[in-house]
Structure 1
């Protein structure tokens, strides 16, 4: 079993939504991350990340029902993600985590997940 799947039960959708909202506020204020969203409106991306995290953390499978298998690395290959970009993303996510109340054990699980995924997404030197 995915060790991260217990997060949904521990925090619920509302906390995940809060996290994602704070994350995209961070994206909005980070020039490097903001460049990844030339369409302007961050709401569709916010919704996708919310559905993805709900699924990964043990909630409903709505993301896969709507979009198919996540294939994270493949979906993000169009962007050059180097260690510096990974750090921008990871810092925005960790800052978002700081803005919500989380049990320490859940926080560590989430942080481990985000670090693992951020490292996996690097596709450029």
Structure 2
């Protein structure tokens, strides 16, 4: 883990936990997205997303150690990720990101990645 990583720059583990917790607060009551999380408790999904984002941004490699290669498209293939689902995902993530009060450059970097990731996971154009 590099000390000059984006992960460290924006506050490390605590920042990513806050981001993911804020995101899942929105998902918990979302009638479109909540069914995509079959577990009763969203905590395991939150832990996986936190670990993934931390690793991507230069933090611990826990995600790969526990789950192997991310293979995001494959892992999301069982779910219908249409433009509406993508937009709802992004709306909850935007709310969570805005709550972090990051420096504008860091906010923009993280948002750019989240938008690109969400667009890359589209696998349906059906309602």
Q: TM-score range by the shorter chain?
A: over 0.9
- Structure 1: gaps spanning 5 or more residues: none
2: CA distance, partners of 1:40 / 1:27: 13
Task: Say which SS state the counterpart of residue 110 (structure 2) adopts.
Answer: helix
- 1:7 paired residue number: 6
Q: In the aligned structure 1, how far is the partner of 2:59 from the partner of 2:38?
A: 30
Q: Which moved more, 1:6-15 or 1:71-80?
A: 6-15
Q: How many angstroms apart in 2 are the aligned matches of 1:43 and 1:50? A: 10
Unaligned 5+ segments in structure 2 are: none
Give the C-alpha shift of residue 7 in structure 1. Answer: 2.1
- Summarize the alignment of residues 1-125 of structure 1 with structure 2, pairs less than 5 Å apart: 6-11=5-10, 12-125=12-125
Q: CA RMSD in A?
A: 1.2
1:1-44 alpha-carbon deviations (Å, 9 max, x no partner): xxxx9420211111111000000001012111111123211000
Q: TM-score, normalised by structure 1?
A: 0.93
Cα distance in 2, alignment partners of residues 17 and 92 from structure 1? 15
| TM-score, normalising length: structure 2 | 0.91
Give the deviation of 1:123 after TM superposition: 0.4
Q: 1:46-99, CA deviations, whole angstroms, 9 ceiling, x for partnerless residues?
A: 000000000011111110000000000111000011111100101110011111
Secondary structure of the 2:40 match is: coil
Aligned residue pairs, count: 121
Distance 1:100 1:51 in 2: 18
| SS state at 2:32 partner | helix
